Structure 1
């Protein structure tokens, strides 16, 4: 699919209001090249969809024949569908998988309206599920994508069979000073590539992020895309105790995002939540343990069906 068709009316140049955008045509072209290179390494999608939502059109990819209750993947900050390269083989061997590029993040979806709170975030996710014709689905999110899954469970739970959370950021514990440094570094204009790659390596447990296509794509997003996502407040203890969607939460013991043990203790406030800390995992847990995650997810959802 040509880039002109793959990307859904990309926002190029600063718009009015708090809306994410690519900084210019050249930057968008660089990002689009990295995006297409990342997609080329994934299994061939069985379907590619464009879903209109209140906050902009969403690009989604289906891996698998459809027909069963799918798992829908929600990427982390500055990331999109190619970040799931390591996970798709294991997940799609057992389940139909939809991956969506999030509104307000660099990818093939486009934000057209300001996101102000968790209810807004949950709205575009629910509208995407509806537009894909999914009456029920499992959400699996990483980092901020896991936060997005929790927001959907809190505000728009009706279509959710379960949520699986991979080291959810700013959800169950405050962000660490290290993560704040990384977040600030990702939005500083003119950040040298060496510094940007060092920040990505830091959050990925020391891995050389620029040596893999996923890391190169995230670096391109950091350089050429300006997000306008709100920093959402963490759910209250009362909200967590009232959350009725089955939950599996996997925390990375070596994460720099937060104190993993403290975050896990808070996540256990969710009734019947299955909560684990994997001591050797970093925040890049999805790429470090793809087979183990696929097996653990299958075990979890088999108890729900």
Structure 2
């Protein structure tokens, strides 16, 4: 009798265990991203949940009732019971390296690839829409109206008031148009002057915070990039990276300098590297402040966020929102430089080729010293990836990471940047 009662209790306990959901059926997988954060991936609704259900329920689709040992449906996980007729024990979570873990990893990778393909398809469609909406027969950069140009130049002039008075202002003729260059005489004893290249859609005043401390190192030239908003005037098409380097090399050739230290911010960093790859003769050193498309690709989220800001008829708040996003969330309303950048984004129609990503192989060919300043909170690349690329690819590189800096690194840490540049130049002049 005791044996019979024990048998009944055992059978009931087993049935209860089998009715409980398997511990590994809906586990959440922690996944480390390239920026060091951990994200949780849950089964997605719709197809993702259907895939989980298909692996966890019998083929009949009907809910299984507890039955006698050995009968189909007696176990809540019939796929694991085999043909022995014995009830299966609740399955344990797969350990890393076991087949279950491998299948889960493969499934996650397929889902990520699917999401990436969908995002790229949406992005491609948006690019086509933007290209159609903003089509213009002009082959060179230009203002959309006289009123738009006046608005930008007024903002440019206000932001320029934060700069020291230039010792010389030149408009240098090149094959592609006139290049505006400001010269500032410094108090330091650097042998070669620095040439500052600003970021896209901005102009020379964006470097206002950097001028006082850099002038203590030596002379400084400040350039408005050709084909971008500013006081440079594009007259002929620029259709390739080689021509991007050509106009800058022609401008530098007209300065009374043998060599220069090129200091570039954002797209200005890309412009400096591109110059050194195509026409390195005048470049003594390169300093890159959170450069774009140099050490890593631009993240998809940043590309998508930039699309609404490209439509000039959308509210100003959309462009301000994107500029704040790149500056780590800092407010940009009523900031003269930010007002200048927003006006350039709205009223200037750039006609430049898309900057090509500088490959690690290309970086390895640079035979000049390079100082790379990486913003640890940049949204223009993945900072850990950019740091690793710079450290591995540059043959004569110095890499500095500013952990809390945003892409607006030049205005956030002007004094520290000047210290790093001064030390860098002292080691390589």
TM-score, with structure 2 as normaliser: 0.66
Selected match of 1:158 from 273, 281, 286? 281
What is residue 273 of structure 1 aligned with on the other side? 397
List per-residue Cα deviations over 1:208-246 (Å, max 9, x = no partner).
Answer: 122321101001101111112211221233221111121
What is residue 358 of structure 2 aligned with on the other side? 235
Distance 1:178 1:278 in 2: 22
Are 1:200 and 2:323 counterparts? yes
Aligned 1:105-184 pairs, distance under 5 A: 105-184=228-307
Root mean square deviation, CA, Å: 1.6
Aligned 1:4-153 pairs, distance under 5 A: 16-64=137-185, 68-153=191-276
For the residue of structure 2 that corresponds to 1:122, the secondary structure is: helix
What is residue 285 of structure 1 aligned with on the other side? 409
Are 1:304 and 2:304 counterparts? no
Q: Count the aligned residue pairs.
A: 292
Contact 1:47/1:62 (<8 A) preserved: yes
List per-residue Cα deviations over 1:94-121 (Å, max 9, x = no partner).
Answer: 2100000000110000111222222111
For the residue of structure 1 that corresponds to 2:170, the secondary structure is: strand
Contact 1:101/1:107 (<8 A) preserved: yes
List per-residue Cα deviations over 1:75-130 (Å, max 9, x = no partner).
Answer: 10101110011100000122100000000110000111222222111111111111
Aligned 1:179-190 pairs, distance under 5 A: 179-190=302-313
Q: How many angstroms does 1:276 deviate by?
A: 2.0
List per-residue Cα deviations over 1:148-191 (Å, max 9, x = no partner).
Answer: 00001111100001010000011111111232134323321212
Which shifted more, 145-154 or 238-247?
A: 238-247
Contact 1:139/1:149 (<8 A) preserved: yes
Structure showing greater relative contact order (alpha-carbon pairs closer than 8 Å, 6 or more residues apart): 1
For the residue of structure 1 that corresponds to 2:364, the secondary structure is: helix
TM-score, with structure 1 as normaliser: 0.92
Contact 1:178/1:257 (<8 A) preserved: no
Contact 2:368/2:396 (<8 A) preserved: no
Segments of structure 2 that go 5 or more residues without pairing to the other structure are 1-134
Are 1:210 and 2:333 counterparts? yes
Contact 1:103/1:110 (<8 A) preserved: yes
Distance 1:164 1:182 in 2: 28
Segments of structure 1 that go 5 or more residues without pairing to the other structure are 1-13
1:103–1:15 distance in 2 versus 1, CA, 3 Å: farther
What is residue 8 of structure 1 aligned with on the other side? none
Distance 1:15 1:177 in 2: 26
Distance 1:91 1:182 in 2: 33
What is residue 4 of structure 1 aligned with on the other side? none
For the residue of structure 1 that corresponds to 2:284, the secondary structure is: strand
